[in-house]
Structure 1
Amino acid sequence: MQTVLVIEDEQDLAELIAFHLEKEGFHPVVVADGLAGLNEARNNPPQLILLDLMLPGMMGTEVLRILKGAEKTAAVPVVVLTAKGEEIDRVVGFELGADDYVVKPFSVRELMLRVRAVLRRNGEAPKPSQMALGPLTIDTEQHLVTVDGEEVQLTSTEYKLLMNLAERPGRVQSREHLLQTVWGYNYIGDTRTVDTHLTRLRSKLGAAGDMIKTVRGFGYKMEQ
């Protein structure tokens, strides 16, 4: 199990992040101030660090500078969490070695996707055995889809379409992108193929099918 060190002094936010990390298959370690976070990272290097910039004890920028300057922790990816959204703050974070930057307030779901994206760039991230979106549950190991506890029989293509949308909630997927990722086309095919399969998928999902939204003139997205 991969360890994610959360250095965040807002207790409610830290607990929320830890809860979702556990759901995603990670082992969260939470520390509330900069110096303690630095010591934890030095003594027990995690697979990834979520680092707030505004911290008691030692500022997050200083923690980041020291971590990236030390041989033992230089390779540990760091995602910076901060209320500072100005361009200069992002630039400073990246110059100090941050791998990604998330501005508060943020969607926890988006944060989990960022964590996985950073870990994929640095090695394989664990895949959750189940995904839950509203009444929809997907067991990724058994390829089992249920809506309100009732199993839904999907074809392989319908399952791939559903996973493509469910893994990127809120993100619009173009018809061309879906053709390439689901059907494996290396060219722009007939996008009506996507529309036909999405219509059948929505129908099979019943009420949960309403979470799949059409973005007129572009494609589809999944929303809770």
Structure 2
Amino acid sequence: MTTALPVPASAPAGVRRSPALRLQLVGDRPSGVPVDGIDGGRVGYLVFLPANVDPAALMRAHGVRPEPGPLDLGGLPAPGVDAPAAPAPAPTPVPSDDGIRVDRARRLVEVDGRELELTYLEFDLLAHLVAHPYTVHTRDALISDIWGYGHFGDGRTVDVHVARLRRKLGPAHRSRITTVRRVGYKYVPDHQ
């Protein structure tokens, strides 16, 4: 149901009014009626009114009964109220094999018992690859997963970081990060 409500004739000084301006209430439906397949769903509308117009008075003047009530924030804190501290998520264990161990909680990588010194992005890249063994990751997917959507770069950025990781892993483990030609990279654990 669409209800067209005219805007009050009194306009603030310096504001021109178009004769076509009006308030429209769209989608008026009884509560409990499914909205887009969601039972008990609600639809909210954003209505722009001049600063000097009382929305409840405007609605009453046109026969629409305003129903003020508490706003259901769906578990969010009210404005101005600090949110309760959420418990820290449990660190997700990263699968490891005999030679390479990744500890996400401490941001530590050990190769054959010796700790590797990795940059922030090198650690994230290696942890991501180790967490998804045998999965082929495109360069673009790695850019968005590791560097984020706002990163301005290309596949060469990934190539440079993979080359540095391979160098730091050493000759015994560098072949674990395999190049899939014209696609990207995958991690292959050592099964001896």
- TM-score after normalising by structure 2: 0.48
The structure where strand makes up a greater share of residues is 1
Pair member with larger Rg: 2
